[in-house]
Amino acid sequence: MIIMGKFVFRMQTLLNLKIQLENGLKNELGRAVQELERQKDILNGLIKERDEYIDSINSKSEEGISVGKLREYNMYISYLNERAKLQKDNIKKAQLVVDNYRDKLIKAMQEKKVLEKLKEKKYEEYMKEQLKEEQKLNDEIVSFNLSHSAE
């Protein structure tokens, strides 16, 4: 049995970089998704507050409400509607950031996979070459033993 040299993948440094890049992008994507969810929560809070004010106006209008108070409520509801509209823009921006990181992550994962496949192929070639060398050495030993036993 021969002692095999250690398998060395020449592009291991690049593969390690791709793995680091992928991990970094996963973290960035996670943060971007959290920010998107935070922006959605803000919108939901605004909508909930607006709906509560509308319910409040409806119940107070049954009891009787002054025109001044009604105008005040309507102005505040308009303000909440405007904030909700702006918040939807924030959500769109946050979604674009998420999509951007997701695309980068997919690309990084594909690049890493290509290198991993190449490493696997090179390892298989290495193992075949080692097996060939071992068989060659065994043949030489058998040949040597046969030539010495014939003498």
- The pLDDT value recorded for residue 3 is 59
Residue 146: pLDDT above 80? no
Dist CA 138 CA 2 (whole Å): 9
- The average confidence (pLDDT) of the chain is 92
- The pLDDT value recorded for residue 46 is 98
Residue 67, domain CATH: 1.10.287.1700
Each residue's pLDDT tens digit, 103-136: 999 999 999 999 999 999 999 999 999 999 999 9
Report yes or no on 145 lying in a domain.
Answer: no
Report yes or no on 7 lying in a domain.
Answer: no
Report yes or no on 149 lying in a domain.
Answer: no
Cα 145 from chain centroid (whole Å): 60
* Residue of 85, 99, 97, 114 lying closest to 15 (CA atoms): 114
pTM over 0.85: no
- The pLDDT value recorded for residue 141 is 86
- The pLDDT value recorded for residue 150 is 62
Report yes or no on 140 lying in a domain.
Answer: no
Report yes or no on 3 lying in a domain.
Answer: no
Report yes or no on 147 lying in a domain.
Answer: no
Dist CA 140 CA 142 (whole Å): 5
Dist CA 37 CA 94 (whole Å): 9
Residue 110 belongs to what domain range? 12-134
Residue 2: pLDDT above 60? no
**pLDDT-derived band at 151, boundaries 50, 70, 90:** low
Report yes or no on 72 lying in a domain.
Answer: yes
Mean pLDDT calculated for residue range 10-30:
97
Report yes or no on 38 lying in a domain.
Answer: yes
Each residue's pLDDT tens digit, 59-82: 888 888 888 888 999 999 999 999
Exposure letters 44-67 (e unless 16+ CB within 10 A, then b): eebeeebeeeeeebeeeeeeebee
- Number of domains composing the chain: 1
Mean pLDDT calculated for residue range 80-92:
98
